[in-house]
Amino acid sequence: MLALVGSGEYLPPMDPVDRQLMDRLGEAPSVVCLPTAAGQEGEERIRYWSDLGEQHFARLGAKVQSLPIIDRAGALETRWAERIAEANFVYLSGGRPDYLHRTLEGTPVWQAILDIHQRGGVVAGCSAGAMIMGARLLGFPGLQPAFGLIPGVVIVPHFDEIPAVFVKTVHYLAARDKTVVGIEGNTALVVDQDRQEVLGNGGVTIWNHRERARYSAGQFIPRLGS
């Protein structure tokens, strides 16, 4: 399962979503929180995201730990990859998507995250953590590489908060051969094999060269990237 969150990670409005994700594991949840996307924001912000993640999942009854993977040197350390490999749920919180992608690309830590996904665990990402899962991410200039776990899409978090002109610019850059996936705050798009479902308080907008449609909680989205 992939869980792509628009904003609101680790906050009370997301409790029901994360409970559902943990329930779908079919086993006791073991969560790793990664503040990697905030790695350039200073020690105070890194500690904030680490503590908030641990408090959130502990409150939900999960075994949880935050790992101090904040730069490429950390992502290359096998000891952290081995700790991630022991989990069945990994959560990438927000920050800079381009930094997050550069930090994780081709590392043992990213491979450990992929392994969780491939064996049926949950890989969740909020904001920057969601953006890197698409085919491309918005950078400067234009669209930049992402990991492509969901082919053919550009993921736009905070979709209910950003200016309309920005959304139109992303669509202009992407619409010829990509689908824009706009995820609102306190909302997750859950991709589980061939099923795409909206969970949470807001909606998900799918916008490509054919149509623009908004889906809300409990609704299933046609196959992305097709």
pLDDT of residue 140: 66
pLDDT of residue 225: 55
What are the CA-CA distances from residue 223 to residues 74, 164, 220 (Å)? 35, 25, 9
Strand partners, 195: 192
pLDDT of residue 53: 98
Provide block-wise average pLDDT over 10 residues at a time, the chain (226 residues). Answer: 97 97 97 98 97 98 98 98 98 97 98 97 98 87 88 92 80 76 96 91 90 90 70
The model's pTM: 0.94
Provide the token pair at 178: 């990509």
DSSP string, 12-48: GGGHHHHHHHHHTTSS--EEEEE-GGGTTS-HHHHHH
Peptide bond into 141 cis (omega under 30): yes
pLDDT of residue 226: 47
Which of 111, 119, 52 is closest to 80 using CA atoms?
111
Which CATH number is 2-221 given? 3.40.50.880
Q: What residues does each domain of the chain span?
A: 2-221
pLDDT of residue 199: 97
Strand partners, 5: 126, 188
